[in-house]
């Protein structure tokens, strides 16, 4: 009887030792999991802070860009006009006779009609009319081309010269480049030379 009881006590002690070992292992796992969760929460908080800063910074940059869009013609297009005219129609560097930004004109005979042009530049037999947009779509490109024949009416001093159109934006999709080229327009996009000609090599603009 005593031997049997001793064996049961020994078995119980072994079982308790196993239970205590298991509990200790579970406690360590729970502590490790808790530590990992705390670290994860800290990382998420840092990530949220970083994303909030990035979002604020991005909003600020977009705001700066939006403000710059108002002067895009002056800041980006105008400095590129001499090079563009030289590349497209062979205008010499000193051949530009006049260049103006944000030109508002009344129609010479129909006083109720007026129009504003982003950039107007004259060189030799050519007069370049530019429209600069923050974004382009097919309708904008089409409307610009459609208005060019009428635009020359606002410049009687350039009667007899050939009017050519250049439409510009920071980014121009290839489909819009093809569309503009089919309509005879010079297409300008932001590049290494401030504004680069995106038309195919050898492109000849349509005279309106």
Q: Structural domain boundaries of the chain?
A: 1-69, 72-197
Residues belonging to the chain: 208
Structure-block tokens of residue 175: 């489909």
Per-residue pLDDT for 69 more than 60? no
CB within 8 A of 208, min separation 6: which ones? 148, 149, 151, 152, 162, 163, 164, 165, 184
pLDDT in tens, 106-121: 998 988 899 999 999 9
pTM: 0.66
8 Å CB contact between 118 and 132: yes
Q: For the domain bounded by 72-197, which CATH number is listed?
A: 3.40.1350.10
- Label the pairing between strands 126-132 and 162-169: parallel
pLDDT in tens, 16-52: 767 666 766 766 777 776 787 787 777 777 776 677 6
> Residues 201-207: contacts with CB within 8 Å, 24+ apart?
203/88, 204/88, 205/88, 205/89, 205/164, 205/165, 205/166, 206/164, 206/165, 207/162, 207/163, 207/164
Sign of the C-alpha dihedral computed for residues 85, 208, 101 and 108 taken in this order: positive
Q: Residue 134 and residue 157: Cα distance in Å, rounded?
A: 30
8 Å CB contact between 98 and 126: no
């Amino acid at each position: 009887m005593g031997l049997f009881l001793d064996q049961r006590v020994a078995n119980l002690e072994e079982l308790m030792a196993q239970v205590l070992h298991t509990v200790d292992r579970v406690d360590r796992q729970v502590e490790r999991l808790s530590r990992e969760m705390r670290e994860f929460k800290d990382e998420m908080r840092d990530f949220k802070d970083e994303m909030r800063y990035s979002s604020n910074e991005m909003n600020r940059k977009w705001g700066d860009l939006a403000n710059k869009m108002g002067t895009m013609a002056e800041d980006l297009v105008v400095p590129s006009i001499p090079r563009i005219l030289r590349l497209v129609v062979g205008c010499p560097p000193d051949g530009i006779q006049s260049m103006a930004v944000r030109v508002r004109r009344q129609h010479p005979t129909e006083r109720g009609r007026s129009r504003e042009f982003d950039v107007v530049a004259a060189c030799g037999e050519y007069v370049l009319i530019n429209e600069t947009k923050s974004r382009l779509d097919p309708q904008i490109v089409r409307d610009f081309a459609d208005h060019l024949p009428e635009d020359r009416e606002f410049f009687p001093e350039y009667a007899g010269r050939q009017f050519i159109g250049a439409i510009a934006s920071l980014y121009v999709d290839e489909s819009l480049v093809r569309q503009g080229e089919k309509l005879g327009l010079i297409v300008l996009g932001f590049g290494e030379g401030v504004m680069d000609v995106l038309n195919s090599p050898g492109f000849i603009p349509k005279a309106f």
